[in-house]
Amino acid sequence: MSPFFRRCSGRVTPEQAHRLVADGQAVLLDVRETQEWNAGHAPGALHLPLTRLMAGAPLPAAARGKRVVAICRSGNRSRTTADLLSAAGLEATDVTGGMAAWAWQGLPVTGVNGSGGVIA
């Protein structure tokens, strides 16, 4: 198991998350609400709001059987998501600082229409 992933849902930096996803070692799961996602998200990220996950929605098909890196705006909802997924036996972690830290580090953010996005 990668040192970035533990059943106890360790955390990764935005740069580590970007590298893990780019290398095909994990999928990025954005757990913010739809209006936040629409404003701006990481290219290639999957979307499932934490509220829907907690209501019993399944992971997106592309995330099933894969390592999951959860991300939200600041890191709180994604930490909860990583803990939930880890408790269910999945390899999951989250991004320290969330999308705010992701954007601050200069990592790509896109809007729904493919243009430059913002973090809402």
Give the residue numbers annotated as catalytic, written as ranges.
72
Are 49 and 32 within 8 A, CB to CB? yes
- DSSP track, 103-114: HHTT---B-TTS
Are 28 and 82 within 8 A, CB to CB? no
Are 109 and 99 within 8 A, CB to CB? yes
The SS3 call for residue 86 is: helix
Helix (H) or strand (E) segment spanning residue 46: strand 46-47
